[in-house]
């Protein structure tokens, strides 16, 4: 690899894969890499608000330790010396886990979440804690102790959520990779809005121990990166069974990069058109972007056919009943005793859970099983599903009515309901210069196939070479 060429572009846009390779071959200093990212953070974060807590001193200290280890030929793992940002509902030992809320602004984590511990074991260096929507359910709010993150493609626009700082920071080159969480699309929404790659893995593949819960049966932890290869590399580090996480599953540890460059030829891809054409008509540029992805995959040799699933309206209803019921069980005491300490948006979105009954919850879970069977049946006919992620590009952050209108216009929640792996990435740019998005969905534990298709689109389109004009 040509480190000089990377440096000419700026180390802040060096991929995690390239950085780890250069460090391993003593072509790049972890300290140099960290200083480049810290300089980028100092320059841009006053505008983007990606961080709640930057831990620069500890990150530099860890980079010096990584440099000494690398100099002596000792590498901790495949991410040795690579910076990573952590969404602030995920525990990092010694730092507060605030959930971007006054409720927990003084809550100090005493241990790393399992996923953070695995990243450290792979050699990654934690840079700090990142902005989120309050408790991963509010929206971009201005009535919280910290300001909301902003979109680096246009800081007047929101970056998606709830993993908002993760999406903004990765896209802007503040760090090459980040951890997010996804309960109704919260990894894939900022990936869509910020033009990066975000994966919601199969339910149970990544431990959630040490992550503040929103919905026990819908929550996922996911990697957020600028490239498909980096995403697969990150998933290899964090995946694995955790016997102390009740939702964790025993699955073969995948070699998620194994099929990256096999291309799309011969693959069967099911296009779920009715999501964006009938159920929730998308903005025309989004529709055009999806058609372009479909045609490109056909040109690469894939067999694309139309597939029908239950409607987005029904998926959304099931998700809403389950999420709000489970979230109410978590937040009930605080909402009863400290309602004024929540921001307006989070309080409004959590309160409906008080009014669902046991029958509603049971019926939603019964329908959920039928929806899982429907997606499984579709994936018995094809290798991967192609569908919309967001139905609109990100709107301005200072237009609450437009934020409220567009946020629910998405096709991500179906795969939290069913637990299937789903990846969102850029499909192009709108006429206003904002990212458009596409989503691919796979069979349980077949993340390698998702990465194969996503990589084929990425290489054909050059989406990994597009960066915000900031």
Q: Which residues are catalytic?
A: 87, 162, 186
Q: If we measure between CA atoms, which residue out of 114, 353, 387, 93 comes closest to residue 214?
A: 353
Distance CA(60)–CA(127), nearest Å, equals 9
Q: What backbone torsions phi and psi does residue 350 show, to the nearest 5 degrees?
A: -85, -30
Cα–Cα distances in Å, from 284 out to 157, 393, 430? 19, 11, 10
Q: Which two tokens stand for residue 9?
A: 């572009």
Query: Within 10 A of 88 (CB to CB), how many other CB atoms are there?
Result: 29
User: C-alpha distances in angstroms, 77 versus 15, 385, 447?
Assistant: 16, 33, 21
C-alpha torsion sign, points 84, 394, 271, 319: positive
Cis bond leading into 162, ω under 30°?
yes
Which residue carries 């989004």 as its tokens? 286
SS3 270: strand
Burial letters for 108-145: b for 16+ Cβ neighbours within 10 Å, e otherwise?
A: ebeebbbbbbbbbebbbbbbbbbbbbbbbbbbbbeebe
Return the half-sphere exposure (C-beta side, CA atoms, 13 A cut-off) of residue 137. 27
| Residues 170/226, Cβ–Cβ less than 8 Å | yes
């Amino acid at each position: 690899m040509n480190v000089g060429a990377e440096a000419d572009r700026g180390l802040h846009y060096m991929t995690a894969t390239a950085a780890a390779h250069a460090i391993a071959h003593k072509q790049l200093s972890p300290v140099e890499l960290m200083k480049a990212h810290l300089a980028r953070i100092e320059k841009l974060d006053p505008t983007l608000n990606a961080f709640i807590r930057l831990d620069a001193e500890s990150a530099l200290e860890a980079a010096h330790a990584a440099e000494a280890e690398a100099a002596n030929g000792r590498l901790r793992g495949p991410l040795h010396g690579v910076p990573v940002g952590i969404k602030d509902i995920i525990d990092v030992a010694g730092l507060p886990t605030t959930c971007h809320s006054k409720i927990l602004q003084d809550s100090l984590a005493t241990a790393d979440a399992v996923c953070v511990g695995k990243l450290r074991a792979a050699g990654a260096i934690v840079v700090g804690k990142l902005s989120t929507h309050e408790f991963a359910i509010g929206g971009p709010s201005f009535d919280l102790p910290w300001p909301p993150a902003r979109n680096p493609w246009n800081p007047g626009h929101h970056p998606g959520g709830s993993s908002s700082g993760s999406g903004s920071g990765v896209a802007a080159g503040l760090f090459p990779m980040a951890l997010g969480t996804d309960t109704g699309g919260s990894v894939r929404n900022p990936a869509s809005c910020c033009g990066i790659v975000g994966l919601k893995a199969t339910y149970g593949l990544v431990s959630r121990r040490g992550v503040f819960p929103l919905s026990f049966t819908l929550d996922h932890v996911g990697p957020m990166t600028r490239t498909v290869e980096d995403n697969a590399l990150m998933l290899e580090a964090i995946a694995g069974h955790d016997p102390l996480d009740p939702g964790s599953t025993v699955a073969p540890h995948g070699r998620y990069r194994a099929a990256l460059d096999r291309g799309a030829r011969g693959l069967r891809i099911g296009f779920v058109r009715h999501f964006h054409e009938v159920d929730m008509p998308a903005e025309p540029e989004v529709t055009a972007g999806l058609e372009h992805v479909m045609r490109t995959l056909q040109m690469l040799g894939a067999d694309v056919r139309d597939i029908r699933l239950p409607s987005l309206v029904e998926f959304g209803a099931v998700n809403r009943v389950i999420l709000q019921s489970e979230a109410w069980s978590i937040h009930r005491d605080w909402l009863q005793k400290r309602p004024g300490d929540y921001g307006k948006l989070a309080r409004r979105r959590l309160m409906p859970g008080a009014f669902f009954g046991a029958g509603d919850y049971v019926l939603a879970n019964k329908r959920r099983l039928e929806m899982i069977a429907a997606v499984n049946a579709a994936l018995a006919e094809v290798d991967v599903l192609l569908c919309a992620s967001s139905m609109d590009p990100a709107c301005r952050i200072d237009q609450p009515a437009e934020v409220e209108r567009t946020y629910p216009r998405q096709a991500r929640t179906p795969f939290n309901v069913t637990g299937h792996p789903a990846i969102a990435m850029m499909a192009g740019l709108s006429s206003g210069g904002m990212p458009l998005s596409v989503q691919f969905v796979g069979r349980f534990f077949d993340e390698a196939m998702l990465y194969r298709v996503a990589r084929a689109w990425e290489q054909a389109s050059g989406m990994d070479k597009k960066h915000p004009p900031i």
